[in-house]
Amino acid sequence: MINLEKIRNKNLPLTKNGHVASYIPALARVKADQLGIVIYDLDSNQLQSVGQSQVRFAIESISKVITLLYAIKQRGFEEVNSRVNTRQSGFAFNSILNLEIEHEKKPLNPFINAGAIMTTSLIKPQDNLTPFEQILAFAQEICHDPELSLDEEIFYSEDETGDVDRSLAYYLKAHMMIQDNVTDSLRTYFKQCSMKVTATSLANLGAVLANDGIKPWDNERIISSQAATFVKSLMMTTGLYNESGVYSARMGLPTKSGVGGGLMSAAPHKCGIGVFSPPLDKDGNSVAGLSVLNELSDELNLDIFK
Ligand code: GLN
């Protein structure tokens, strides 16, 4: 068994090298010196955790993985692919410039904000449930976390300060990429980002992706093999924004980050990993979290190209 305590002690001081996200005011109040690490090992079917593994924090951009998987489940792979591209972006995740580079009138990928708002807009009311109610229920199931819920305070904070995201959504509408009511899609997007998870829920999500779409805790398939592979590939190419290429080359581990300080990785057929540490680098990725993932990739031999 790997010595997670040692890895945590070594990396905790790195929390001083980053800054907690402050552009969403509710996130600025989070305590900085936290580091939680959880590994869901598929071989032993067991979780190993250390530090703040049960502390709840905002999922933020990692929710984009969940809505993408749910949109594929509800609308089908072809429709989702026809509405959002799979290209890398050279700009920040919320840059309007991402939209100026048009490829077949589609946002560049589902992990920049414009692409995520597009994905969210594809989810339709079903069985008397709103799109957000469906996303929440799906998130609880795929993260094996029935307590996963919406944090109203973070939601209001996102909504109040979300004018850049509003601009992106109205750009999509003005350019006929979204025809529906963008106000509803924006609300759903802000709510999905404001769901509270733990590093353990993220390790569970990573484990489902690593296990080809089958929940390892009950052996039931929740997403198709095709969806699991597609999402892992996208995490590899665009999961860490502008740093994606650097980390794909460095640790070769499909990973998605969020500005709440979460990181979720899926090492195919090996393990799912959830890390929580709020201070971020300039691109919006957890500083201590990325360093932990580098070490885990080396020590557990997780690089998919090895
Ligand atoms: N809610 C955040 C936003 O829309 C999510 C961004 C992120 O985690 N990178 O800006």
Q: How confident is the model at residue 89 (pLDDT cuts 50, 70, 90)?
A: confident
* CA 113 to ligand 1 center in whole angstroms: 7
Same domain flag for 85 and 114: yes
Report pLDDT for 102.
64
CATH at residue 50? 3.40.710.10
Supply the pLDDT for residue 98: 78
Told to judge if 61 belongs to the known catalytic residues of this protein, a careful annotator would answer yes
Ligand 1 pocket, CB under 6 A:
60-61, 93-94, 113, 158, 165, 193, 258-259, 284
Which atom of ligand 1 is found nearest the CA of 260?
A: 8
Q: Is residue 205 part of a domain?
A: yes
Considering the domain architecture, whether residues 33 and 9 belong to the same structural domain is answered as yes
pLDDT in tens, 147-189: 999 999 999 999 999 999 999 999 999 988 898 889 999 999 9
Q: Which of 9, 6, 51 is nearest to 31 (CA)?
A: 51
- End-of-domain residue from the set 193, 219, 239: 193
Active-site residue 189, yes or no?
Answer: yes
Task: Count structural domains, the chain.
Answer: 2
* Domain boundaries, position 148: 61-193
Average of per-residue pLDDT across 23-30: 92
pTM confidence score? 0.97
Q: Of 193, 215, 247, at which residue does a domain stop?
A: 193
- pLDDT mean across residues, the chain: 95
For residues 1 and 125, what is the distance between their CA atoms, to the nearest angstrom?
45
CA–centroid distance, 267 to ligand 1, in Å, is 24
Q: What is the mean pLDDT of residues 236-249?
A: 91
Is residue 105 annotated as a catalytic residue, yes or no?
A: no
